[in-house]
Amino acid sequence: MTPFIAYDDGRGVLSPLNDLRATFDIRTGAVTTLERIQSLLGGFAIGLFVPESLAALTRERHAAPVNETPPHAAMVVNGRCPLPPPSVNILRLGEAIVEEGSGDLVAAHLAPQDAAALLKGQTPRYTITQTLPAPALMSRPWHVRTFRDACLDVDLAAHSGETAREIPKGAVCFGQHKLWISPSAKVYPGATIDLENGPVAIEDHAVVRPGAILIGPCSVGPHSTVLERATIRPHTAIGPWCKVNGEVGGVIFQGFANKAHDGYLGDSFVGEWVNLGAGTTISNLLNTYGEVIARASVSTGNERSGQQFLGPIIGDHVKTAICTRLMTGSVIHTGAMIASTAAASGCVPRFAWITDSGQRTYRPEKFAEVMRAAMARRKVEPSAAYSARIAALHAGA
């Protein structure tokens, strides 16, 4: 077993993915990056380092020490690396792996003083033993799409649950890949599970309603519900406590999100506490079939995404009205509310309130009221640290 420190170096432009969580807590497949690092290294996190703005939230979510200098030599793994290479496990003291081009650290086995220097933003001493082709680290929101397929395939291959011994009565199942159904999950008669091209995992207390279709590889997270007649296409990972309907393909749901009605959603990321109104639909392919050009933030320019298929990246607490349209490669930042007949495209700022009358800023007190109401539906109360972080984001921090 390899104990390690997960290190969020704060680099790149990853908002809205990391507005309310450390980069290693982003769901980059069926699990978060931190959970995958633990699985691949066969170890556990002995420490977590994050930007100070996220320290209080990270302490609430994890038992490991946060932003405490290690007293001994440690393996440090960058939280922006969704798929650390196997060579991390054999790094010797003083050796490091970096990303080509940026030179950013992927992982290193560091002496105490060098680990302390790195975590303080200083330059540690190490010898580079491997350089990984870029991108090895996430540095833009759409990189969650770049790494999606490989991450989900690894997660499902490492799944430790018991495979289903009997197909649920009345359900249809075919194909040669594995099927995991938690004993506490419920798959209704009339559901279809297609295992021809990949495995399917249905986690604890998940529900698959009549007429729903699951096409592997895909996963349905704990307490989530796939509603009647939904079609869940390959490389979709639904996090916990979601309700999903319509046609969904290649989408990662962080968790606690609702897409409970018809409408297409593809090659996208959906943050927590998102509600997509009935008929909300997206574009994930340009009419030219070319590479999608995207814009990560209002302060950056357009960039090549490296993707032909790329839907919207949707931040936490985003809401859309009925029949909303979200365009190819759009980045919808935390707290935006879209209720316009015109399609939303490009980069939508945090807490934007968009209607046919124009765009203004969501009033903080009204946003907090709606946030609490939405979270209460899942019996969740925002903590003081969570509310403080929301306030800081609204203030532009």
| DSSP-derived 3-state class of residue 269 | strand
pLDDT the model gives residue 220: 98
Q: Rounded CA gap, 386 and 273, in Å?
A: 13
Q: Rounded CA gap, 308 and 328, in Å?
A: 10
Return the structure tokens found at 141: 């929101």
Measured in whole angstroms, the distance separating CA 314 from the mean position of its chain's CA atoms is: 10
Facing residues of 313 across strands?
A: 269, 331
3-state secondary structure 154-208: HHHHCCCCCECCCCCCCCEEECCCCEEECCCCEECCCCEEECCCCCEEECCCCEE
Instruction: Write the pLDDT tens digit of every residue in 201-256.
Output: 999 999 999 999 999 999 999 999 999 999 999 999 999 999 999 999 999 999 99
CATH 2.160.10.10 at 155-394, yes or no: yes
pLDDT the model gives residue 318: 98
Task: Provide the phi-psi class of 229: left if phi over 0, else alpha when psi is between -120 and 50, else beta.
Answer: left
Low-confidence ranges of the chain (pLDDT < 50): none
List the chain domain ranges: 4-139, 155-394
Strands (DSSP E) contained in 301-369 are 303-304, 313-314, 319-320, 325-326, 331-332, 337-339, 347-348, 352-355, 358-361
What does the chain come to in residues?
397
pLDDT the model gives residue 3: 86
Return the structure tokens found at 395: 């203030």
Which helix or strand (DSSP H or E) is residue 231 part of?
Answer: strand 231-233
Contacting residues for 334 by C-beta, under 8 A, at least 6 apart: 15, 16, 19, 20, 271, 315, 316, 317, 318, 350, 351, 393
* 70 preceded by a cis bond (ω within 30 of 0): no
Model pTM score: 0.97
Q: How many CB atoms lie within 10 A of CB 238?
A: 32
Q: Rounded CA gap, 246 and 255, in Å?
A: 17
Instruction: Write the pLDDT tens digit of every residue in 134-154.
Output: 999 999 999 999 999 999 999
Q: Which amino acid is at 349?
A: P
Return the structure tokens found at 48: 């977590």
Look up residue 108 and give its DSSP letter: E
